[in-house]
A = this chain, B = another copy of it.
Amino acid sequence: VEPLQQFINREQARFLAEVSEWLRIPSISSLPDHREDVARSAQFLAQHLETLGADKVEIWPTPGHPAVFATWKHAPGKPTVLVYGHHDVQPVDPLAQWTSPPFEATLRDGRLYARGSVDDKGQLFMHVKAIEALIHCLGRLPINVSMIVEGEEESGSENLMGLFHEHARELQADVVCVSDTDMFQPGLPSICIGMRGLAYFEIKVQTASGDLHSGTFGGAVPNATIVLSRILASLHDAQGRVSMDGFYDDVRPASAQERAEIRKLPFDSKVFREQSGAFVELGEAGFTTLERLWLRPSCDINGLSGGFQGAGAKTVIPNVASAKVSFRLVANQSPQRVEQLFRDHVARACPAGVQAEIMAFHSALPYHAPTQQPVFELARTALARAFGRPAVYVGEGGSIPFVREIGDATGKPCLLLGFGLPDGNSHAPNEWISIENFAKGIESLAYLYQDMGRIEVARS
């Protein structure tokens, strides 16, 4: 048995106890009430890294939430890996749907359940424990590591690029490594080579100065919930295509070969429905489910609100209604252009005299990995060694805004080694991470960093 594997298996219970303590902190970055919790989460991580031989651990404040930065620079002439992760988490509502409390990490059926367990505290912690394992087993880290763990990923990473500009020198690296994605299926190690971008909006419709009696006025005045429903319904056509003019203009058409490779993956509709809980597969006509997720853009309503929402009946014509609307983008779409198309579309769909206001929230550019870079092959080897099965390239429907931005800014490849699973509920109640993936992920990362230590780099 490998010493690294032996150490990781032996210490696994302690690793889980440590990450569980971190998961107790409700670091929800999008809710102002949790501001202090996000700060506490950064402090917890920083204190933990201090115990692992880092030569520098700093908390970087921002106008929003703080990031944690650390370095282990003990391998001159060897490559530098920049590990990126985030310590903030999604909101937890609807709370009633959680089987165990979201901030009391709970082991159940080979899974660790908690908000943040897989997205992303649990996965970032795997890098931390890989570093600990290497130091323990080899006496030192065979490569140089920098680590930046932001506190605003779930609310738009608004200050991350600012930190990159401010700390450009400290964040220089040969490769960026991120664990915030999923494996294709249990036991099948996966490297993510594409991510969709994001453009997220809120739309608010107002039709009158106040609510009106639906008997006295029904049929003769505009109704904000009807106007909003009609605008929202106009965003898709009957074939499931986004029906905003110009939306597909910038979409890179997928090659026949790309589509063929995706079709080779062991996709199972029944498993997909079981894992997602979706009653049916449904999307753009002419594409498979994986193509819809990885190659095609999409539009979702994320929330809907207006009028009387209590129990029973209230005969009212709502004067205000609002919705959250988001678009997932693929190369070469840009959030800025999609925002303009959305504004134009709503302006055309809104009846004269009715007010429709649009607010833009965070956005992200889509990402495609430079798989010709040698580090991708090293990663496949390390994953195969830990999991005992060849690794596959996959796409990811979600966004990590950072990935594309750092790629553009540094010109360095970004390795997306994710250990979540498709039904991990990362933004839903009952989020979990597989205990097996937690251990094998730590092992994979330790092998990868060990193998990278055989490479010599010339410093200018």
CB nearest to A207 among chain B residues: B279
Chain B residues contacting A155 (CB-CB under 8 Å) are 312-313
Tell me whether A303 and B212 are in contact in the complex, defined as CB-CB below 8 angstroms, given that A219-B298, A220-B281, A362-B313 are known contacts: no
Q: Give the interface segment out of A102-110, A159-167, A420-428.
A: A420-428
Is A354 at the interface (CB under 8 A from chain B)?
yes
Q: Are B221 and A427 closer than 8 Å at their CB atoms?
A: no
Q: Are B305 and A318 closer than 8 Å at their CB atoms?
A: no
Q: Give the interface segment out of A43-51, A227-235, A452-460.
A: A227-235
Q: Are B397 and A93 closer than 8 Å at their CB atoms?
A: no
Nearest-neighbour CB distance to chain B for A318, whole angstroms, equals 7
- Cα A276 to Cα B353 in complex, Å, equals 14
Is A282 at the interface (CB under 8 A from chain B)?
yes
Q: Are A304 and B302 closer than 8 Å at their CB atoms?
A: no
Q: Tell me the chain A residues, 258-305 only, with Cβ under 8 Å from chain B.
A: 276-284, 289, 292-293, 296-305
Is A441 at the interface (CB under 8 A from chain B)?
no
Q: Are A210 and B425 closer than 8 Å at their CB atoms?
A: yes
Q: Are B324 and A210 closer than 8 Å at their CB atoms?
A: no
Tell me whether A428 and B211 are in contact in the complex, defined as CB-CB below 8 angstroms, given that A229-B233, A307-B324, A323-B225 are known contacts: yes
Is A429 at the interface (CB under 8 A from chain B)?
yes
Chain B residues contacting A316 (CB-CB under 8 Å) are 302-303, 427-428
How many copies of this chain sit in the oligomeric assembly?
2
- Cα A309 to Cα B31 in complex, Å, equals 12
Chain B residues contacting A425 (CB-CB under 8 Å) are 210
Q: A310-328 toward B: CB 8 Å interface, digit per residue (1/0)?
A: 1111111111010110101
Q: Are B303 and A306 closer than 8 Å at their CB atoms?
A: yes
Is A200 at the interface (CB under 8 A from chain B)?
yes
Is A434 at the interface (CB under 8 A from chain B)?
no
Q: Are B301 and A223 closer than 8 Å at their CB atoms?
A: yes
Q: Are A208 and B300 closer than 8 Å at their CB atoms?
A: no
Chain B residues contacting A220 (CB-CB under 8 Å) are 281-283, 289, 292-293, 298, 397
Chain B residues contacting A215 (CB-CB under 8 Å) are 196, 198, 328, 396-399
Chain B residues contacting A321 (CB-CB under 8 Å) are 304
Is A60 at the interface (CB under 8 A from chain B)?
no
With beta carbons under 8 angstroms apart, the residue of B212, B216, B289, B303 that contacts A308 is B303
Is A218 at the interface (CB under 8 A from chain B)?
yes
Nearest-neighbour CB distance to chain B for A283, whole angstroms, equals 5
Q: Tell me the chain A residues, 321-359 only, with Cβ under 8 Å from chain B.
A: 321, 323-324, 326, 328, 351-355
CB nearest to A234 among chain B residues: B233
Is A213 at the interface (CB under 8 A from chain B)?
yes
**Which of A156, A206, A215 has the largest number of chain B CB atoms within 10 A?**
A215
Q: Are B216 and A293 closer than 8 Å at their CB atoms?
A: yes
Is A90 at the interface (CB under 8 A from chain B)?
yes
Is A443 at the interface (CB under 8 A from chain B)?
no
Is A381 at the interface (CB under 8 A from chain B)?
no
Q: Are B305 and A305 closer than 8 Å at their CB atoms?
A: yes
Q: Are A281 and B314 closer than 8 Å at their CB atoms?
A: no
- Cα A223 to Cα B279 in complex, Å, equals 10
- Cα A399 to Cα B218 in complex, Å, equals 11
